[in-house]
Structure 1
Amino acid sequence: MSSDAIPGGGSPDFELRPGEEVELAEDPQALPAARRFRDVLGRFASGVTVVTALSDGVPVGMTCQSFSSVSLDPPLVLFVPALTSRAWPRIRRAGQFCVSILAADQTALSQRMASRDAEKFAGVGWVPSPVSGSPALEGALAHVDCAVHAVHAAGDHDVVIGRVLALDAVDGDPRPLLFYRGTYRTTTD
């Protein structure tokens, strides 16, 4: 299909501007079931990150696999927290955050940060990130220190755009922690 072909024969001159949405008829029979949606999209392997901040001087964090670069100029990244997250409102109020990209041996850390445990940071090694002071987790492959740039509502999640303030990565070629088809992996094999 060519890039300007519209399924069903519609006009190719359709254009959305930032912030505009398309109204679609809600047909519950046409919507995919949540389980099927997760099964199909789970075939996309993603890295695993932990997003952290200091909230009233107390570290807060959440595991997040929906993380991506957005722009080089200015340098922007995004992550997508669920509206049900207990950590996200505290990170949002902080106005800044650090993303730690996890290494293959950090499955337990990912699970801990995904839990609702009030003491997630007990015994977890971290240092303040260089600009925001948000926790940069020890052993991670990389850290991306950010300020909240924009937040967009998206169904049962928010899309958070972060302006990159500083970043660093470990030397060498360490293996990343991956999430694929509903489980942690170090490869998709």
Structure 2
Amino acid sequence: MSVDQHEFRAALGRFASGVTVVTTVLDGVDHVMTASAFTSVSLVPPQVLVCAHRGARFHDAVLASGSWGVTILSDRGRATSAWFANRGRPLENQLDKCSYRRGPGGVALLDTGLAWMECRTAAVHDGGDHSIIVGDVVWAEVTGSDVDDPLLYYRSHYGTIVRSEDSEKTLLAEADG
């Protein structure tokens, strides 16, 4: 039985995700991509993963460099996310359109983030037309400002959260009560 590709893509579009920008440096050149296929893997040791399309120029660069940075975008990062999701943009000076700093390991970290991490590649797994890149987190930081609205992606649209009075803890307390 084969999966209808249109229905599969539509089903995946109904999963809201956060948005990240992942960066690496190879031979002095910055490589950057927007990624919503990002998640934590382990707390001990601290690990995350990102999926990179095998046909993207970022893919070979991040595999060759072995180190990469992650910016978890705030809602202020919409234009930045769209820019780095644009295939075929010029490689040279692509960071000129955004404000960024260099992390301790030298990768670009965007100022429109809520949190930042630097990673060393621990493993690479086959993921069909993508590679699943698992990284050991070697450094992490969160924003010290009051900005706390994450950039979300759902059905090809950007958004952010609408806060509810309920949280995982309040719902558990109600279930136990």
Q: Give the TM-score range, shorter chain.
A: 0.7 to 0.9
RMSD of aligned alpha carbons:
1.6
Letter in 2 for 1:79: V
- What is the aligned counterpart of 2:3 among 32, 39, 45? 32
Match of 2:117 in 1: 144
Give the equivalent residue in structure 2 for 1:123: 97
Question: How far does the alpha carbon of each residue in 1:158-182 deviate from its partner, in whole angstroms, 9 at most, with x for none?
Answer: 1000000000011335100000112
After superposing the two structures, state which structure 1 stretch, 93-102 or 120-129, moved more: 120-129
Does 1:153 pair with 2:129?
no
The TM-score normalised by the length of structure 1 is 0.79
8 A contact 1:180–1:188 mirrored in 2 = no
* Displacement of 1:147: 0.5
Percent of residue pairs bearing the same amino acid type: 36
Tell me how far 1:120 sits from its aligned partner: 2.1
Q: Distance in 1 between matches of 2:6 and 2:18?
A: 21
Q: How many residues align?
A: 159
Aligned with residue 46 of structure 1, among 13, 17, 33: 17
Matched residue SS, 1:146: strand
CA contact (8 A) 2:114 2:147 kept: no
**Further displaced range: 118-127 or 76-85:** 118-127
Q: Which runs of 5+ in 2 are unaligned?
A: 164-177
Matched, 1:162 2:154: no
Q: C-alpha distance in 1, partners of 2:76/2:147?
A: 14
Shift of 1:187: 3.2
Residue equivalent to 2:155: 181
- Give the aligned partner of residue 11 of structure 1: none
CA distance in 2, matches of 1:35, 1:188: 29
Q: Give a deviation string over 1:129-183, Cα, whole Å, max 9, x none.
A: 12x2111111211101100110001111110000000000113351000001121
CA distances 1:79-125 after superposition (whole Å, capped 9, x unpaired): 01111211121121111000000111211100111112114212322
Question: What is residue 175 of structure 2 aligned with on the other side?
Answer: none
Flag structure 1 segments of 5+ consecutive residues without an equivalent: 1-29
Report the structure, 1 or 2, having the larger strand content. Answer: 2
Bigger CA radius of gyration: 1
- Name the SS for the 1:187 alignment partner: coil
**SS at structure 2 position matched to 1:32:** coil
